[in-house]
Structure 1
Amino acid sequence: MLEKSFALLYFLKQSKTGGSKKYIYLRITVDGHPVEVSTKKQWWENRWDQENGRVSGTKPDAQELNFFLGTLENKVFQARKKLIEDDELITAEALRDLVTGKDARKMILEVFADHNRQMEALVGKDYADGTLERYITSYEHTKAFIQWQYLADDLYIRKLDHFFIEQYAFWLKTVRNCNHNTTMKYLSNFKKIVLICVKNKWLPGDPFANFKMTKKTVIREPISEWELEAMISKDFENDRLNHVRDIFVFSCYTGLAYADVKKLKRSEIEKGVDGEQWIFTPRQKTDAPCSIPLLPVALQLLGKYAHHPKCVNQDRVLPVLTNQKMNAYLKEIADLCGIKKVLTFHLARHTFATTITLSNGVPIETVSKMLGHSTIKQTQHYAKILHIKISADMASLREKYAVIAPQPAKQYTELQLEPVKQSSPLPKYNYVFVVS
């Protein structure tokens, strides 16, 4: 990609230690942005031609140095030609790196793979297994996109631009059939890799700068009370389904996410301030502490699996399968229980926030604390007030106003709107009650 302006200039710069000689520097300026390159050569100021950027005189040492400066200048032009041939963005940094040999020709997937290797080494310390899995999947998507769009196994980092990001988003939504929010998650993972390149100055700017990373609000309807009861009372012929159902129900009554249920240790079940059994555990995702009083159903499930070999040998409270298997079995459980919702393990956390707690009068501040959230706003994402809760909350208000109503409220069965004839250009409406 051609630049708008390009200039080279040699100049002298005083060394930090002083002395009679000064260092010769080359300034490369592209589109008004300069970088300086040291030639490692020194010369006297009184024998320097600043206008031409060359050494003055015809002595052998002057001729030799001028030849060197000309050769270096020619290398810059060759580097510029190389960038043009490779259809790469021409920047002062790119030219400097090519000339000095510091350009490692960093590749996108190479940097991505290095990032994932470092993340893998930090799993259990700074990152969860699930986080690593998401970045591995994101790497595979990026690799497939580069092959699809550029017919290449990898791409130079300098090829990253706004067009790349737009096409990647298009590919995720069409070829991979990802929904909008999933697409944004993969792009968010990739953006982390891009920012690594920007911070290391392998990339002159952020290609995400003018790309809108927005997420659409998704309303996840939690499991209702009757649906939860249907699951609990159902005796499946397949023991594995009973097993998965139990772990899902445990999460519905504790609000723990999949990763937190899987890592929950026996030592994290202790007596709370009320003398009852509580869960005291940090969230794997954020390390935020969770303090959750155990409800009877959850306690019963803990007792059921207390002597399970996996729980005994691994110091766990429940024998949790992989998230993929859990979700596969949950779909089968939903069908057998007549539940029309798309059942995933994470829906249990929403169910705890809404059906189990808020709908039964537990304050949102308390729910937020049990979920391990740092702000109420996070909890509001999980907690959706059900119609049955709205009905219960409005019942007393309905009774209060029924006393002063002109006729018994139960006699009003319809509410119609009829336009009122008037001179005003804007129609107004009167409420007309139809009494049964």
Structure 2
Amino acid sequence: MIFYPNIFILLYRTHVNYKSKVKEVERVFLEEEIKSLIEKNFTNERLSLVKDIFLFSCFTGLAYFDVKNLTKSNINIGIDGDGWIFTHRQKTESASKIPILPVTQMILDKYSNHPHCVNKDKKLPIFSNQKMNAYLKEIADLCDINKELTFHISRHTFATNVTLNNGVPIESISKILGHKNLKKTQHYAKILDRKVSEDMMLIRYKYINEFLDSKNINK
């Protein structure tokens, strides 16, 4: 048998020096689109329900299965004397405590007497995840939303546009979302940093142009 030591050394060095490149997942979320979604009225009962459930997740941060499993026992009075949602995330089994916002309460009240909620002891009626995503694509077309609308986007929307963008500390957001460590929540802060950079770029160009105009005037 013939050995080629140089080849083995080369392969070893290649393996040691190799660094895997993990592509960061782009987290899409709604910004001004959420306003148009709230204001859109659907005569179709199916689409109206899907819109409401999606908005419920946008203002609670709950994932699909957490919304589906929500029962009356999950709603209780919080430390501030107002209604809160007390639940455990199905994905991580971590506790999640969420103050109920006015829009959230309106949706809960709207479906409190729905046959599915009464018979199944559920807080909200909800289609399968597959159907929800199919109907959300239909809603996106009707609302002129150019982003790929999926149910999971609602969770990203809560973390960024609803909370972080309105000054809620990242530690509080992490606790509401049921993240086991802050590092996972910090991805949303990076998204907003990028948006800040883009927004400031517009201002930068504006003042550059004004500066150039003023120089031309003073010539």
The TM-score with structure 2 as length reference comes to 0.81
The TM-score with structure 1 as length reference comes to 0.42
User: What displacement does 1:336 show?
Assistant: 0.5
Give the aligned residue type for 2:81.
G
Conserved 8 A contact 1:354-1:386: no
Mind listing any 5+ residue stretches in structure 2 that lack a counterpart?
Answer: 2-17, 215-219
Distance 2:206 2:174 in 1: 42
Give the aligned residue type for 1:358.
L
Q: 1:275 to 1:218 in 2, by over 3 A?
A: same
Higher normalized contact order (CA 8 Å, seq sep 6+, divided by chain length)? 2
**2:28 aligns with one of 203, 215, 221:** 221
Distance 1:248 1:434 in 2: 48
**1:413 aligns with one of 192, 198, 208:** 208
Aligned residues: 195
Q: Does 1:310 align with 2:116?
A: yes
Distance 1:243 1:412 in 2: 47
User: What displacement does 1:238 show?
Assistant: 1.5
User: What displacement does 1:257 show?
Assistant: 0.4
- Within 5 Å, give how 1:318-397 maps onto structure 2: 318-383=124-189, 384-385=191-192
User: What displacement does 1:277 show?
Assistant: 0.4
User: What displacement does 1:221 show?
Assistant: 2.5
Give the aligned residue type for 2:98.
I
Partner of 2:30, secondary structure, is coil
Q: State the identity as a percent.
A: 54
- Within 5 Å, give how 1:266-305 maps onto structure 2: 266-305=72-111
Q: 1:315 to 1:215 in 2, by over 3 A?
A: farther
User: What displacement does 1:435 show?
Assistant: 3.5
Conserved 8 A contact 1:278-1:294: yes
Partner of 1:307, secondary structure, is coil
Q: Does 1:435 align with 2:213?
A: yes
- Whichever structure has more strand as a proportion of its residues is 1
Q: 1:323 to 1:344 in 2, by over 3 A?
A: same
Specify the alignment match of 2:8 in structure 1: none
User: What displacement does 1:370 show?
Assistant: 0.1
Give the aligned residue type for 2:208.
T
- Whichever structure has more helix as a proportion of its residues is 2
User: What displacement does 1:313 show?
Assistant: 1.0
Conserved 8 A contact 1:412-1:435: no
Q: 1:340 to 1:411 in 2, by over 3 A?
A: closer
Q: CA RMSD in A?
A: 2.7
Conserved 8 A contact 1:359-1:389: no
Distance 1:236 1:411 in 2: 41
Q: 1:283 to 1:412 in 2, by over 3 A?
A: closer
User: What displacement does 1:215 show?
Assistant: 3.9
User: What displacement does 1:212 show?
Assistant: 8.6
Distance 2:187 2:174 in 1: 11
Specify the alignment match of 2:65 in structure 1: 259
State the structure with more CA Rg: 1
Q: Greater CA deviation, 377-386 or 336-345?
A: 377-386
